[in-house]
Amino acid sequence: MLGSSLDGSKAVSLVALDVDGTVLTPEGRIAESTLAAVREARSFGVRIVLASSRGPVALARIQDELDLADEWFVGFQGALVGRRTGAGLEVLAETPMERCAADAVEREAMARGLAVGRYIGPRWRVPRLTAAVLREARGTGEEPLPSSAAEVAADGPPHKVLAIADGPTQIPLLHDLAWALPAAVTGTLSHPEFLEVTAAGVDKGHGLRSLLTHLGLAPERTAAVGDGLNDLGLFSAVGFPVAMGQANDRVRAAARWVTGSNVEDGVARALAHLGAVAGAR
């Protein structure tokens, strides 16, 4: 029963897991200890939900490996909450960007020489293929679609715009873009070289709160595990935030407990600490 290691009275019934830097090792793998701990937690009735800046396409392989193909996920930094079904993607909640704001972000990114693209559900539209875009595609398994202005205009409003620095020398340009963003959006650095841009006020906590309302779960019955600045919103939405061992001081300070890193069985140790697996009982 999850909760015996918290306050002894309220069982935690849902744990939200960040993906990059948390579920995934630096090599992009899922540790055997994570697979086993997630499987055991679910056998005790604990819901495990992925909460990521990734979208449904990039999350599919990871969900499949974790046996979470039928579970809800929080994607695109909180702009989309959905799950995969036999009929396709079921959307529980979504907060897309204004088209004009997305256009402005793309223009500003391109003016600085940054790679940029927009995500609309399963589609990733890019103005051009760059080395940074192709690296991201290899890492996530998504296919970037070089798109004309007419194709972009005919599409739906995007859930997210991603700007990518092509190596350390472009990181100052990424920070400059972050300062120049319009008021209608929120920008979050999910990685030193990635700026995730969503509608104003959208973060992982925004998406998770929609899911908790749908499931009828109070925040004190939930936990989250993450490592990045883009997990701070997620931490604010749950009763028991856990930071990964490699997280920086700001993320660690926002957590109630710090687990091991993503090369030290951090997720498994976190679930054990929360009482979700046998090692905690």
Q: Residues 6 or more apart from 43 whose CB is under 8 A from it?
A: none
The CATH number fitting domain 14-95+203-280, selected from 3.40.50.1000, 2.60.120.10, 3.30.390.50, 3.30.70.3270: 3.40.50.1000
- Neighbouring CB atoms inside 10 A of 85's CB total 10
CATH code of domain 99-199: 3.30.1240.10
Q: Which residues pair with 199 in a beta bridge?
A: 185
- 76, 118, 129 from 158: Cα distances, Å: 10, 6, 19
- Range name among 10-14, 83-87, 244-248 with the lowest pLDDT average: 10-14
Q: Residues spanned by CATH 3.40.50.1000 within the chain?
A: 14-95+203-280
pLDDT tens, 116-127? Answer: 999 999 999 999
Cα of 9 vs its chain's centroid, Å = 30
Rounded to an integer, what distance in angstroms lies between the CA atom of residue 216 and that of residue 210? 10
Rounded to an integer, what distance in angstroms lies between the CA atom of residue 231 and that of residue 51? 9
pLDDT tens, 132-184? Answer: 999 999 999 999 999 999 999 999 999 999 999 999 999 999 999 999 999 99
Look up the pTM and report it. 0.92
Q: Is the pLDDT of residue 232 over 60?
A: yes
Q: Residues spanned by CATH 3.30.1240.10 within the chain?
A: 99-199
The mean per-residue pLDDT over the stretch 36-47 comes to 95
